[in-house]
Amino acid sequence: MRATNILLAVSLGTSLLAGCGGEVEVPPPQSRPVKVFTVEGPGSEALRSFPGSVQASQRADLSFRVSGTLQEIQVREGENVVRDQLLAQLDPTDYQIALEDRQATFDNAERNFERAKELIKDGNISKLDYDRMEAEFRTSRAALTQARQDLEYTELRAPFDGTIGRREVENFEDVISKQTIFRFQNLDQIDILIDLSESLVRSISPDPSDTQPGAQANRRVDAIASFEGRGDFSFPLDIKEVATKADPQTQTFRVTMTMPQPAEFLVLPGMTANVQVDFSKIMEADSAKWVPITAVQADGALEARVWKIDPDTMTVNSHPVKIGRMSGRRIEVTDGLYGGEEIVSVGAPYLSEGMRVTRMAKREQAEPREDEA
């Protein structure tokens, strides 16, 4: 019994010594969590959906070219009108008075100039007086023309067939020139705006006659639009415009696509659309891939490489690549990736050949403490 107690005490003491100062080998983790990035490719990743906003292809903000008091509004919001139809009228009284004054001044200057042309023949007036009367005649004629135009400008007419989208003023208000009176639009053709990243917009051109490589890809882009609550309908889209300057906030490029107004239901500006674009043929034509900068590491010979994941064994292996340009937090891989591969984007510096990994949950991130904002 005493011997048993002694052995127990010795074992306990050994354990304590090992815990306090002895070196104990800690087995390596069975797998390392990493963040995974899937390389873009011509498969299912090439079929993408983008939120789009609708606007009229032909639109204008209508305003008077002169100031005055709004006397009469002839149309209502949502009303369809034809070209040259009267939309609104300013009080013309002041402009009619100005026109009568300019007319009287012109008539007097015209009579004086006609007399001067007869008198100058016989030398009864000087050349200086003749030139002065001619100048007064031309000035009064120009003023009369301006007065007539100002009177015409008290009427606001439709520049093309369309719809009154919105009225910005009320009747009998005082308005100034260039102040928006109506938001006017033609809904026979509608535009849908989406935002694309640099890697996607690079191969798109709105000009079918363009001989650049982007124009060739443009003719192979298939895009369709669908609308909320009308998922059973889809409509083909044509590329109309491609912005050449990125948005400073999102670093994306605005692409405008167009389509005729659907016959099945009405699509209005301000509505949203879901745009599905097939980039497969573009991606086949462009072998370059864009990946996060953190996914590319240097091996012992300072050559670029990425860590590819074997989805069956969940192990990694080093894969050489060739790199090109950098854009923001991404880098171009010009050779070595074909699309569809899973590579490590976060955690690459801590990996070794054949190491087992696990995919880090996309939602995994540090949680703020209760006492933090």
Four-point Cα dihedral 7, 13, 17, 18, nearest 10: 50
Predicted local distance difference test score (pLDDT) of residue 175 = 97
End-to-end CA distance of the chain, in Å? 62
**With 50 as the cut, is the pLDDT of residue 312 above it?**
yes
Q: What is the pLDDT of residue 216?
A: 44
Question: Domain coordinates of the chain in residue numbers?
Answer: 48-57+186-278, 92-153, 287-359
> C-alpha angle with apex 281: 225 to 197, nearest 5 degrees?
65
Quick one: the chain helix, strand, coil %, rounded to 5? 25, 35, 35
The yes/no answer on whether domain 92-153 falls in CATH 1.10.287.470 is yes
- Tell me which of 2.40.30.170, 3.20.20.70, 3.30.70.1560, 1.10.1740.10 is the CATH number of domain 48-57+186-278: 2.40.30.170
Res 150 pLDDT > 50: yes
Give the pLDDT score at 359: 86
pLDDT computed for residue 127 by the predictor = 93
For residue 126, how many other CB atoms are within 10 A of its CB? Answer: 11
Identify the band that residue 301 occupies on the pLDDT scale cut at 50, 70 and 90.
confident
Alpha carbons within 13 angstroms on the beta-carbon side of residue 160 total: 12
Distance CA 88, CA 155 (A): 6
Q: What per-residue confidence (pLDDT) applies to 114?
A: 94
Contacts 24+ apart (CB under 8 A), 22-27: none
The overall longest dimension of the chain from CA atoms, in Å, is 157
> Per-residue pLDDT tens for 10-66?
333 434 444 444 555 555 556 889 999 988 765 445 678 899 999 999 999 999 999
Does domain 287-359 sit in CATH 2.40.50.140? no
What CA–CA distance (Å, rounded) separates 64 from 178?
6
pLDDT in tens, 94-137: 999 999 999 999 999 999 999 999 999 888 899 999 999 999 99
**Residue 311 near residue 344, CB atoms below 8 Å:** no
pLDDT digits (tens, 9 = 90+) for 342-372: 999 998 888 889 999 998 876 554 444 444 4
Residues 186-213 pLDDT 10s: 999 999 999 998 877 876 655 555 544 4
> DSSP letter string over 144-202?
HHHHHHHHHTTEEE-SSSEEEEEE-S-TT-EE-TT-EEEEEEEEEEEEEEEEE-HHHHT
Distance CA 198, CA 193 (A): 16
Average pLDDT over residues 308-327: 90
Asked whether 245 and 252 are in contact (CB, 8 A), the reply is no
- Residue 356 DSSP class: B
Nearest to 352 by CA among 288, 307, 291: 307
Structure pTM? 0.58
